[in-house]
C-alpha cells in the first residue's frame, strides 16, 4: 500500500510535502486576488460606468492560457513558484470582482439607511454591514476560484517542475509509471473537493444568521451554487 | 522584453502565415477542437439541465456532479488519458468536455428554475403539454442565462484547448508549447495573443447570438 505513495526522489519532496506545496501555490494567489478585488469592486460599485470595462479586462486576462502566462513571466520572476502564482491570482479576479459587486449591491437600501441612522460612517458601514451581508456571494466566488486554481497549478510542471502534484505527471511519463499519473489526478481532485467543503464550512461559520439547514431545509441551500453564475457574469 | 514588441515581431513575420504551422492552419485546428468539445458538452449538458430544471428534481445530484467534474484537473486528466488511450483526438476531448459540462449543466438548471412560475402555471392551465411548456414557455425565458452558460464554457474551452499541443496535436497551443521548448518568446506571446483574440471573438459571437435568438419581450424585461 505504501508503494502507492512513493514519490521519485528527483522531486525532492514527500507525498505530503507535494500536497502542502500544491495547497500553498493554489491558495495564496486566490487570497491575494480576493484582497485586490475588494477595492476594485468597491470602485465599480461607486462608479457604475467603470464596471463593464473592468469586466472586459478581467475576461481578456482570464482568456490568456496559463502556460503562455507562465512563460512570459519567467523573464521577470524566473522558474519559481511566484511565476505560477501570479497568473492564478489574476485569473481569480474574473470571479471575485462580479461576485463582490453583486454581493455588495444586493444589500437592501433600507439596511444601509438603518446603518446610517445608527450613526455608522461609510467605512464602518462597509466593513460591518455590507461586507458581512456579501459573504455568501464572496464565498461562492472563492469556491470557484480556489477549485480552478488547484487544477491549474499542475500546469506549472511545464516550466521546470513548478507544478507541485502536477510534477508527478511528468515523472509518470518519463519513468513509465502510470501509477504516478493516477496519483496526481486523484490527489488533486480530492484536494479540490476537500477545500471546497472547508469553504462551505467557513460560510456556515461566518453567516450564523442564515438558516442552518436541517435535513429538510437542505435542498434550497444545496442547490447548485450561484458560483457558476458569478463566472457567467464576468463577460456580460 | 516588451510584450508588444514580440507580438509585432510574430505577426509581421510572413513565414508565420503559411504552411502546416501557419496561423490559418493552427487557427482552423483550434476552432475545430473547440467546436467539437463545445458540441459534445452541450449535447450532454443541455438536455440534462433542461429536464432537471423543468421537473425541479435532482438539483443536489447535479451540484455534486458539477463539483466533482470541476475538481478534476484538466491537465492531469489530459496526461492520464494520453497514457491510457494513446495519440488522438479522444484524450484531448475528454478533459475539455469535463471542463465545459459543469457550467452548461448548472447554468441551464438555474436558468430553468429561475423562470417565473406563473406563466408556466398559466400555460399548464391552458392545456399545454409538458413538452410544449418546456420549449415554448420556459426555454425562451431561460435562454439568456442558458446562453451565458454556453459562453462561459466556450471561453474556457478556447483557452484550455491549447493543452492539445502537449500531446502532439495541433491548434494554437502549438506555438506556446514549441515556443517554450525552443525558448522562443515571440512564438509564445503570439500564440497567447491569438488565443485571447479568439476568446474575444467568441464573446462577440455569443453577444450576437443572444441579440438574434432572445425574444425582444424577454430582453426588455431584463
Q: Is B92 in contact with B160 (CB distance < 8 Å)?
A: no
The whole-angstrom distance between B106's CA and the closest CA on chain A is 6
Residues of chain A positioned with their CB less than 8 A from the CB of B195? 63-65, 68
For chain B, the average pLDDT equals: 90
User: Which domains, ranges and CATH numbers included, belong to chain A?
Assistant: 12-207+219-233 (1.10.3720.10)
- Taking a C-beta distance cutoff of 8 angstroms, is the pair B157, B99 a contact? yes
Q: List chain A residues with CB under 8 Å of B60.
A: 218-219, 222-223
pLDDT, position B9: 84
Question: C-alpha A159: how far from its chain's center?
Answer: 22
User: A18: which chain B residues are within 8 Å (Cβ-Cβ)?
Assistant: none
User: Running DSSP on this structure, what letter comes out for residue B114?
Assistant: T
Half-sphere exposure of B165 (CA within 13 A, CB side): 27
Domains located in chain B, CATH noted: 24-216 (1.10.3720.10)
For the entire predicted model, the pTM comes to 0.86
Taking an 8 Å cut-off on Cβ atoms, the answer to whether A223 and B63 are in contact is: yes
From the list A5, A28, A64, the residue with the least C-alpha distance to B193 is A64
Residues 190-219 of B with CB under 8 A from A: 191-192, 195-196, 199-200, 203, 206
ipTM: 0.84
Averaged in consecutive runs of 10 residues, what is the pLDDT profile of chain A (236 residues)? 77 89 95 95 90 87 88 86 93 92 88 91 89 90 92 90 90 90 94 94 88 47 45 42
Q: How close, in Å, is residue B3 to chain A by CA atoms?
A: 8
Interface test with B, best of A59, A68, A94 (most B CBs within 10 A): A68
User: So what's the pLDDT on residue B139?
Assistant: 92
Q: CA B56 to CA A224: how far, in whole Å?
A: 12
Q: What is the mean pLDDT of residues B151-170?
A: 91
| Residue in this structure with the C-alpha cell 475588494, named with its chain if needed | A38
Tell me the three cell numbers of residue B49: 439541465
| Residue among A154, A172, A222 minimizing CB distance to B73 | A154
Q: Nearest-CA residue of chain B relative to A186?
A: B72
Q: Tally C-beta pairs within 8 A across A and B.
A: 176
Cα–Cα distances in angstroms (integers) from residue B85 to residues B35, B90, B91, in the given order: 22, 8, 7
**A185 and B76: CB-CB below 8 Å?**
yes
Amino acid at each position: 500500500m505504501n508503494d502507492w505513495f512513493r514519490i521519485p526522489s528527483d522531486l525532492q519532496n514527500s507525498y505530503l510535502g507535494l500536497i502542502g506545496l500544491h495547497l500553498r501555490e493554489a491558495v495564496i494567489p486566490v487570497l491575494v486576488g480576493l484582497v485586490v478585488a475588494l477595492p476594485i469592486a468597491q470602485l465599480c460599485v461607486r462608479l457604475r460606468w467603470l464596471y463593464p470595462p473592468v469586466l472586459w479586462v478581467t475576461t481578456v486576462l482570464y482568456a490568456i492560457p496559463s502556460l503562455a502566462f507562465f512563460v512570459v513571466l519567467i523573464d521577470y520572476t524566473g522558474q519559481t513558484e511566484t511565476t505560477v502564482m501570479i497568473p492564478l491570482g489574476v485569473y481569480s479576479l474574473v470571479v471575485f470582482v462580479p461576485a463582490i459587486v453583486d454581493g455588495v449591491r444586493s444589500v437592501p437600501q433600507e439596511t444601509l439607511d438603518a446603518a446610517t441612522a445608527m450613526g455608522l460612517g461609510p467605512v464602518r458601514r462597509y466593513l460591518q454591514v455590507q461586507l458581512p451581508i456579501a459573504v455568501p456571494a464572496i464565498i461562492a466566488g472563492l469556491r470557484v476560484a480556489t477549485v480552478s486554481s488547484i487544477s491549474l497549478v499542475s500546469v506549472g510542471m511545464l516550466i521546470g517542475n513548478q507544478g507541485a502534484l502536477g510534477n508527478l505527471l511528468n515523472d509518470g511519463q518519463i519513468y513509465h509509471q502510470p501509477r504516478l499519473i493516477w496519483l496526481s489526478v486523484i490527489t488533486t481532485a480530492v484536494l479540490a473537493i476537500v477545500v471546497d467543503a472547508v469553504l462551505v464550512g467557513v460560510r456556515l461559520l461566518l453567516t450564523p444568521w442564515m438558516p442552518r439547514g436541517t435535513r429538510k431545509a437542505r435542498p434550497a441551500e444545496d442547490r447548485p451554487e450561484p458560483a457558476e453564475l458569478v463566472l457567467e457574469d464576468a463577460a456580460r | 522584453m516588451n510584450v508588444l514588441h514580440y507580438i509585432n515581431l510574430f505577426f509581421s513575420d510572413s513565414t508565420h502565415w503559411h504552411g502546416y504551422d501557419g496561423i490559418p492552419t493552427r487557427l482552423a485546428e483550434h476552432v475545430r477542437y473547440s467546436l467539437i468539445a463545445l458540441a459534445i458538452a452541450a449535447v450532454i449538458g443541455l438536455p440534462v439541465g433542461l429536464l432537471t430544471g423543468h421537473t425541479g428534481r435532482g438539483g443536489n445530484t447535479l451540484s455534486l456532479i458539477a463539483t466533482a467534474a470541476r475538481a478534476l484537473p484538466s491537465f492531469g486528466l489530459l496526461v492520464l488519458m494520453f497514457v491510457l488511450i494513446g495519440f488522438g483526438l479522444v484524450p484531448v476531448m475528454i478533459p475539455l468536455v469535463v471542463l465545459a459540462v459543469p457550467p452548461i449543466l448548472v447554468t441551464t438548471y438555474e436558468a430553468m428554475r429561475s423562470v417565473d412560475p406563473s406563466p408556466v402555471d398559466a400555460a399548464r392551465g391552458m392545456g399545454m403539454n409538458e413538452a410544449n411548456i418546456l420549449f415554448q414557455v420556459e426555454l425562451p425565458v431561460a435562454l439568456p442565462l442558458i446562453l451565458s452558460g454556453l459562453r462561459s464554457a466556450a471561453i474556457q474551452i478556447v483557452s484550455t484547448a491549447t493543452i492539445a499541443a502537449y500531446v502532439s496535436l495541433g491548434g494554437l497551443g502549438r506555438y506556446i508549447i514549441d515556443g517554450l521548448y525552443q525558448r522562443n518568446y515571440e512564438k509564445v506571446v503570439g500564440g497567447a495573443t491569438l488565443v485571447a483574440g479568439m476568446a474575444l471573438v467568441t464573446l462577440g459571437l455569443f453577444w450576437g447570438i443572444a441579440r438574434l435568438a432572445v425574444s425582444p419581450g424577454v430582453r426588455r424585461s431584463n
